[in-house]
Structure 1
């Protein structure tokens, strides 16, 4: 049997509409295929609670918020219809409250009571207000905020009193003090600046020196090793004979100097007596003249004649210049 296109379109439309209805109800927290039980709770303020939000006992999801309706025209309360999807026993004295966590959606939390009687379908839960995390924080901060306000009020009064007591000159001085503090703070900031500050440059120089030492570590180690070897060789040398020789030389030098200072000795007389010095100088000069004359007139001293010759004179009275002596033929 051939199915027409119109029939196919109709069937598909019905299926799509059914899926749409089921999906819409599922998103609203309604399950058309599951038998549900409904109970109620009346709240004075819903906060961020909305339909389809979860209902939990000890963190376990037992249902969803099915509907929210005002109790009267004055909205003296809002009736929340709770659709229980789990078969659980809820004591009759249990209380419901709206929990609003910092992260996530709000939900209705049921705090179980101790009663042996259980809630029945259509019963209404007792409710209470829950402060929430933000309200708890606010409640804890309120005393601190009040103290801060009191301190600020006291500080304002104090500054007002000080402003009334201080003279114009005192105010100027106080202003200068604050300016000096500001300048000192700026100077300190410039000093500790890692790029341009003196402290930063010093640290950079220290780091550069450390890097150089690290790079030259092998050379420094070798130098220290050489110095150590030289010290060991010097320690191994027997320098006592050298020291003894130096001591003997010092003794001899002292003896020579004592003789030189003694006017009764030959050296002392030569050094200290000017007459002996002059005579010795004249003797040396005469010897030098005699030697020069012998070189200039050798025949005068070695030429002999039987009949004799008259001495023509021409004796030297002073030494000849070194370049005036006759050359040998």
Structure 2
């Protein structure tokens, strides 16, 4: 069967459009052939961005699609996509956590297999895990206030001692001793307050020290790994890769290669636009005169008649 010139043109245009869409999404880092499911969760505030990771046991399994403020509930709704192969129940919790000491947050899926399996579009429960810096700030806020009172009492004690040294009279010495006694009582009360604060926060301080110990061990392991790793070779390889990437980008900017011509050549854009219009006319003509394009089913050749546009 002989294929007409119009059908060949249509196939060529469709192929070009499909390749353009695939290439454009590939450059943006999207894989059209990867199946993903979208789920939702809500938080009382937003501390995320589009680049925040979605992890399971420390492994990246998806990415954030959108972050929207819900004006009715006053909450921040986060939609995220994960690989369709990941299965979990509706009882799974989405936990927002700090990814490091220097800031940045991510979402971790605490997978649960109990209950009904979650389906795309479900809203999953959420929780927030406070990082080390936030915990330290909360734990030492009360201690800071009491230390301020202690410093004020110490300052009063030093003033009293100065008066004792400068005033040599009996009345001055007696008055100074009385003030010193009052200062010592005040200092004792303040010391008791500090001891009470430390006792009340003993569990928090213990937990903070445990976290410091864990972080110290992790840093020791990280330091050993960096020492054993061939950092020089990695940096050199990265530099070579960046140079190649710069060369490719310069070629694209100059209009060289297929991508460069696609971005720079206005004639190619005009040709695609013309081909698209011809494709529209071809599809409209097939819809109006289908027998004209199926001559195999008709022994009699049907002559071409121009459509009456009046």
> TM over 0.5, yes or no?
no
Q: What is the TM-score with the length of structure 2 in the denominator? A: 0.42
Bigger RCO (CA 8 Å, 6+ sep): 2
**Structure (1 or 2) with the larger CA radius of gyration:** 1
Q: What is the TM-score with the length of structure 1 in the denominator? A: 0.40
